[in-house]
Amino acid sequence: MFDFGPQSGYIYAAYAIFALGLLVLLGASLAGRAAARRRLDRLEAESRR
């Protein structure tokens, strides 16, 4: 791992939390869109019947 000296812990923690926050947000957004698409597809299929 790259060494930033005695402040490495703070830097690693900041970047890890940043990455985690963005991944959670991206994952939640994609999951939300997939769920919306599934629900819409199901309702459209039901309305065609």
Partner 1 sequence: MTENSASPRQGAPNAFWSLANPGRFMGYSGTLLPWLAVITLALLSYGLYKGLFVAPADYQQGESMRIMYIHVPAAWMAMGVYSLMTMSSLGTLVWKHPLADVSQKAAAPIGATFTALCLITGSLWGKPTWGTWWEWDARMTSVLVLLLIYLGIIALWRAIDEPLRAARAVAIMTLVGAVNLPIIKFSVDWWNTLHQPASVFKKGGPSIHPAMLEPLLVMGLAFGFLFGCLQIIRMQAEIMNRRAERLALRQANAEA
List of residues contacting partner 1 (CB under 8 A): 2, 4-5, 7-8, 10-11, 13-15, 17-18, 21-22, 24-26, 28-30, 32-33, 35-37, 39-40, 43-44, 46-47
Nearest approach in angstroms of CB 49 to partner 1 is 10
* 4 in Cβ contact with 11 (< 8 Å): yes
CA 28, 31, 36, 39 dihedral sign is negative
Nearest approach in angstroms of CB 42 to partner 1 is 8
In angstroms, what is the C-alpha Rg of the chain? 20
